[in-house]
Homo-oligomer: A and B are copies of this chain.
Amino acid sequence: MAKEKKLVEAITPMEQDFAQWFTDVVLKAELIDYSSVKGLTVLRPYGFAIWENIQAWLDAEFKRTGHENVSMPLLIPESLLQKEKDHVEGFAPEVAWVTYGGSEKLQERLCVRPTSETLFCEHYSHIVHSYRDLPKLYNQWCSVMRWEKTTRPFLRGREFHWQEGHTLHETEQEAREETIQMLNIYARLAEEVLAMPVIKGPKTESERFAGAEDTYAIECMMHDGKGLQAGTSHFFGDGFARAFDIQYTGRDNQLHVPYQTSWGVSTRLIGGLIMTHGDDSGLVLPPRIAPVQVIVIPIASHKPGVNEKAAELVDTLKAAGVRAKGDFTDNSAGWKFSEYEMKGVPLRIEIGPRDIENGVCVAVRRDNREKETISLDALAGRIGALLDEVQQGLYEKALANRLAHTYTATTLEEAREKVSAHAGLVKMMWCGDAACEEKVKEVTGLGSRCIPFEQEHISDVCPVCGRPAKHMVYWGFAY
Contacts and interface: CB of A to CB of B under 8 A. Distances in A.
Contacts of A95: 102
Contacts of A159: 73-75
A123 interface: yes
A340 interface: no
Given A35-B122, A130-B4, A100 B110 contact: no
Nearest to A100: B97
Interface stretch (A16-24, A64-72, A277-285): A64-72
A96 interface: yes
A138 interface: yes
Interface string A339-356: 000000000000000000
B98 A102 contact: no
Given A33-B126, A98-B112, A112-B98, A75 B143 contact: no
A80 interface: yes
A375 interface: no
A42 interface: yes
B5 A132 contact: yes
A249 interface: yes
A401 interface: no
Given A35-B119, A123-B33, A71 B93 contact: no
Interface string A130-141: 101000001000
A130 B5 contact: yes
Contacts of A147: 101-102
A103 interface: yes
Interface in A155-171: 158-159, 161
Contacts of A129: 4
A43 interface: yes
A49 interface: yes
Interface size of A as a range: 35 or more
A36 interface: yes
Nearest to A147: B101
Given A74-B159, A102-B95, A123-B42, A49 B35 contact: no
Nearest to A94: B102
A99 interface: yes
A36 B72 CA distance: 11
Contacts of A100: 96-97, 99, 109
A29 B42 CA distance: 37
Contacts of A470: none
Contact of A4 (B143, B158, B249): B249
Given A49-B68, A70-B48, A112-B98, A127 B33 contact: yes
A77 interface: yes
A145 interface: yes
A45 interface: yes
A33 to B, nearest CB: 6
Given A98-B112, A99-B100, A129-B4, A37 B70 contact: no
Contact of A138 (B45, B51, B80): B45
A184 interface: no
Given A97-B99, A249-B4, A77 B36 contact: yes
A72 B122 contact: no
A93 B161 CA distance: 28
B74 A40 contact: yes
A166 to B, nearest CB: 12
Contacts of A36: 77, 80, 122
Interface string A43-81: 111001101100000000000000011111111010010
A113 to B, nearest CB: 10
Contacts of A109: 100
A2 interface: yes
Contacts of A45: 68-70, 138
A145 B35 contact: no
A392 interface: no
Q: Which of A101, A158, A161 has the most CB of B within 10 A?
A: A101
Given A33-B123, A36-B77, A95-B102, 20 more contacts: A4-B132, A5-B132, A35-B73, A37-B77, A42-B70, A42-B73, A43-B70, A44-B70, A45-B69, A48-B70, A49-B68, A49-B69, A74-B112, A74-B145, A75-B159, A93-B103, A96-B100, A97-B99, A98-B99, A112-B112
7 contacts: A37-B77, A40-B73, A45-B138, A93-B102, A96-B100, A97-B98, A112-B112
